[in-house]
Structure 1
């Protein structure tokens, strides 16, 4: 997967996140349980794909093969300290 496809996927996830939030606002009530769960999944997947993009950029910066970068599991990515 190249950087442009990674960014496309990130943009799709962000668009879905916005749709869910907008739908809840238009309906005049909060997000239901399924919506909360999906938003959580989207957040985790966004973190994973941003991490992948950062890995690829770092490898490129140090002239390492970007193909060595990989999508890390959710536990690893979510365990990072900010």
Structure 2
């Protein structure tokens, strides 16, 4: 494996770890709502922020993987704004 592949793998793992953390936070929020520890408005507000960040992480991961497949430097991929990512998602 070349240096680019090792770098890409480590960064990709960190992005995937962050995605896992956010998924866990989504579960905690849903449980907190079910247990009455937070109100629905709080849950929705916080979920919206997490979902936006998740979309950005998935977008960044797709960018990185596409760059690797094209023989380009995955570290040149960058986090796009929520508005830009949401436009691509629809």
TM-score class normalised by the smaller sequence? 0.7 to 0.9
User: What is the aligned residue count?
Assistant: 81
Give the structure-2-normalised TM-score.
Answer: 0.81
Ranges in structure 1 where 5+ consecutive residues have no aligned partner: none
- Give the structure with the larger helix fraction: 2
Cα distance in structure 2, aligned partners of 1:81 and 1:8? 22
Runs of 4+ residues deviating >4 angstroms: none
Ranges in structure 2 where 5+ consecutive residues have no aligned partner: 1-9
Q: What's the C-alpha RMSD, in Å, of the aligned pairs? A: 1.9
Residue 70 of structure 1 aligns to a residue whose secondary structure is: coil
Give the structure-1-normalised TM-score.
Answer: 0.88
* Correspondence 1:66 to 2:45: no
